[in-house]
Amino acid sequence: MAKRAVVESVANTGIGKVRSRVQIESVQPKISGGRFPVKRIVEDAVKVEADIFVDGNNELSAVLLYRKEDSEKWSETPMAREENDRWLGEFRVNEIGLWKFTIQAWIDHFKSWQRDFKKRVEAEQDVSVDLLIGLELINKVQKKAAPRDKEKLNKIMEKLNNKRNKAEANNAVLSDELSRIMAKYPDRANAAVYKELMVVVDPKIARFSAWYELFPRSASPLAGKHGTFKDVIARLPYVADMGFNVLYLPPIHPVGNTFRKGKNNSTLPEKGAVGSPWAIGGREGGHYSIHSQLGTLQDFQELIAKAGELGISIALDIAYQCSPDHPYVKEHPEWFRKRPDNTIQYAENPPKKYQDIFPLDFETENWEALWDELKNVITYWIKQGVKIFRIDNPHTKDLSFWEWVLSGIKKENPDVIFLAEAFTRPKLLYRLAKIGFSQSYNYFPWRNTKWELTQFITEITRTEAKEFFRANLWTNTPDILTEYLQIGGANAFKVRFILAATLGANYGIYGPAFELCVDKSVAPKSEEYLDSEKYEIKKWDLDSPVSLKPLITRVNQIRNSSVVLQQDYNLEFFPVDNNNIICYGKHNDDYSEILLMVVNLDPVWAQAGWIELPLGKLGISDQRPYQVHDLLSGDRYLWNGPRNFVRLDPAKQCAHIFRIRRYQRTEKNFDYYL
């Protein structure tokens, strides 16, 4: 791309002289003035819009320029002018990786002349001089045109020079052929170019995923026996049958012995206590090593391969922290913070204490070596076949480190994605997403009322956040058993699951605790599980009659077969005159597929209300009935008009997932529903 006057840069701040009559403003999508890339999925269309205008009354032309970061050649596509000097264009990202785009706009003297010429002809004015001006413009293009276009322009110029046939000359000036040829050879000598913006393009699983969390050490079929990777392989069909495409494993590394925690986070562990997987490191090694009771590296690679055969990706936990027994403690004591008594500071989140964990000190003077080592950890596991990482507590580490390490990893391995486990303040949460995290934990577990859910989901799907923040809606985690789940019984688990799986294209559950509806906390007002799996091996009864496996399986079947549930931008809430019932829909761009979710947020009592739908917007006639097909129960109902009554008794069914089928009439006058 030729060097031009760049808009919104130093060139336009009054420093020096820059000739740029064309103005380009309010470009979207753009994050923090272009500081960070927007996010897209491979094969997405990136829709770009901008205000483009010029002094006076000249016609403009504009193109959208785009390229993959590793390509030197720019591709371009024209932009179209809409109302009030707003211009639109789009390009498709057909490869994973970092892309760049910008806008180039210029005064189009030919289009300006052609427009005015048409007005003069319609006003029956003398256009002889105007024809001479046009000939000059065409002649400039004719000199640089390809042979075939040169020949066509010569013929058009002959018509313009023919003073005996003014009508033929006028028609030639206004012909589509002349417009098309002239547009191929624009004069961009004084074009304005916007600064380059970025798009990071991820694999499709970054937008649409269903995560299942499993502790490998609890995968053994025998009670009390430490599970192995081979046991997890045997568990894969169970996970696949439910329809999950990501299996997330907590840390698989050796667990430290010093200050090892016992049952329920006790500092006085019983004999044989297995400790917390997040207390990483021991005599066997650290972040590059595998807990010996889980198996070998070869076993882990076999797990990745077997999971892949079932359409499941393995997600690995990366927790940048160490047990007191980790090799780093002896080899690099400078990476840890010392207290005045010369002991290493253990992790705390007052009043909680984690004596079995040493946090790394990101303010160490030896920070560059620390950064390099931590990047090497991720790179090592990528080489073993891992493509998805769940990062533990990234909000407690240096943000500049994350920006450096994530950009470097993504440049070398663009198909790798990262989930940020950061339940933190909104601005910090968003910043982590901006600097490179592909998905993010969020506040969904604590959003229970209709108002809370509507406000939260609207923010992340309808504001600027939608361009960089991909929420992964988790129902629960080993650390989070919400009050709603503790007091609502099995129906509360059903409600939260359906909300997570249909409000979000990305969601996750900590199982089997979730499908078995485990709801006992260690203490009143605590969100810690009683007898937490974080500190002991569990034996789960996967065949229990209380299991939610049938519901989970059915909802995932619906998600996997419905494109509209595989994205978030298309969500819309609809009014219901009962605050205990929430109604929302997802649709494709032309509304040919519409799913309508109706959920009773009260896990105890039956609730009823009237739903109001914008039938015109949905392409539904208010003069004909339309069918709603409940994909959960199989029931079908005929509705009429925008307002319809629903009643949900959680003892029977806590939600509907309706597919709306619109009435149609065939040429042979047979009635049917789409």
* pLDDT tens digits, one per residue of 351-365: 888 999 999 999 999
Instruction: Characterize 435-457 residue by residue with b for buried, 16 or more Cβ atoms within 10 angstroms of its Cβ, and e for exposed.
Output: bbbbbbbbbbbebbebeebeebb
| Catalytic-residue membership of 392 | yes
Query: Domain 5-108+189-201, CATH 3.40.50.1220 — does that match?
Result: no
The rounded distance, in Å, linking the Cα atoms of 93 and 41 is 8
Give the per-residue pLDDT at 165: 87
CA atoms of 178 and 137, how far apart (whole Å): 12
Q: How far apart are CA 523 and CA 472, in angstroms?
A: 28
pLDDT tens for each residue of 600-618: 999 999 999 999 999 999 9
Per-residue pLDDT, 352: 80
Q: Please indicate whether the domains covering 203-252+290-320+360-566 and 571-673 agree at the CATH topology level.
A: no
Q: What is the 3-state secondary structure (H, E, C) of 148-172?
A: HHHHHHHHHHHHHHCCCCHHHHHHH
Domain coordinates of the chain in residue numbers?
A: 5-108+189-201, 110-184, 203-252+290-320+360-566, 571-673
Distances from the Cα of 668 to the Cαs of 516, 624, 671, in angstroms? 52, 18, 9
| Residues of the chain under the 50 pLDDT cut | 1-3, 9-15, 668-674
Quote the pLDDT of residue 349: 82
421 a catalytic residue: yes
Residue 314 CA to residue 246 CA, distance in Å, equals: 6
Name the active-site residue from 149, 231, 325, 392: 392
Helical ranges in 449-588 per DSSP H: 450-462, 483-503, 549-561
CA distance 176 to 134: 15
The phi-psi region of residue 281 (left if phi > 0; otherwise alpha if psi is between -120 and 50; otherwise beta) is: left
Rounded to whole angstroms, the Cα distance separating 466 from 567 reads: 11
Number of C-beta neighbours around residue 176 at 10 A: 7
Query: Which CATH number is 203-252+290-320+360-566 given?
Result: 3.20.20.80
Contact criterion met (CB below 8 Å) for 356 and 323:
yes
Q: What is the pLDDT of residue 6?
A: 57
| Backbone Cα Rg of the chain | 31
Encode burial over 311-346: b for 16+ CB neighbours within 10 A, e otherwise: ebbbbbbbbbbbbbbbbbbeebeebbeeeeeeebeb
Amino acid at 635: D
110-184: CATH topology is Methane Monooxygenase Hydroxylase; Chain G, domain 1 (1.20.58)
What per-residue confidence (pLDDT) applies to 350? 84
| Closest residue by Cα to residue 279 from 359, 202, 384, 336 | 359
From the list 484, 501, 502, the residue with the least C-alpha distance to 493 is 484
Residue linked to tokens 């491979």: 42
Instruction: Return the pLDDT at 671.
Output: 41
pTM: predicted TM-score of the whole model, two decimal places:
0.93
Helix (H, G, I), strand (E, B) or coil at 197: strand
pLDDT for 670 equals 41
Q: Which of 421, 515, 536, 572 is catalytic?
A: 421
Could you tell me the CATH superfamily of domain 571-673?
Answer: Golgi alpha-mannosidase II (2.60.40.1180)
